[in-house]
Amino acid sequence: MSSDDLVETLNAHPPAVIRTLKGRVVAYAAERHELRMGFDIGLEFCHTVDIVQGGFITAMLDASMAHVVLAAEHGKVRVSSIDINVSFLRPARAGAFVAVGSIVKSGRTVAFLKAELYAEKGELVATATSSAHLTREHR
């Protein structure tokens, strides 16, 4: 399956949380084990006027990390976070975001992942690392 086909497949039936955050997979680069997602975050996800609440920032980072595994495994695994460590680098204001998730190392049952979240003007606003449990389909 081509990268474009994987992007189309991942966007075909997104989970409710991705729809809520107006998210979509933008690109997948198999050779770099990297996936980009776009999000459009409105004021309803903010506190202190226009500052995006940290849980929603974490959700965008988590989604990009889970989706890169789904793309790499052609949807043949289920991904469950074991842990997520997020560093909030600057205030994230409502608007468009790009989350870039990548695979650091992946085994049969555990994957080590990282992600970066960028605001509209390309400012890095948060980073994350995660360990994820992979549940594979039985053959």
The predicted pLDDT at position 75 comes to 85
Q: What is the mean pLDDT of residues 121-133?
A: 97
Quote the CA–CA distance of 126 and 138 in Å, as a whole number: 36
**Domain edges within the chain:** 3-136
Place of tokens 């790499």: 72
For the stretch 1-53, pLDDT in tens is 789 999 999 999 999 999 999 999 999 999 999 999 999 999 999 998 999 99
Both tokens assigned to 59: 């959700």
pTM of the full structure:
0.95
For the stretch 100-122, pLDDT in tens is 999 999 999 999 999 999 999 99
Give me the CATH code for the 3-136 domain, please.
Answer: 3.10.129.10
The predicted pLDDT at position 139 comes to 55
Quote the CA–CA distance of 21 and 28 in Å, as a whole number: 20
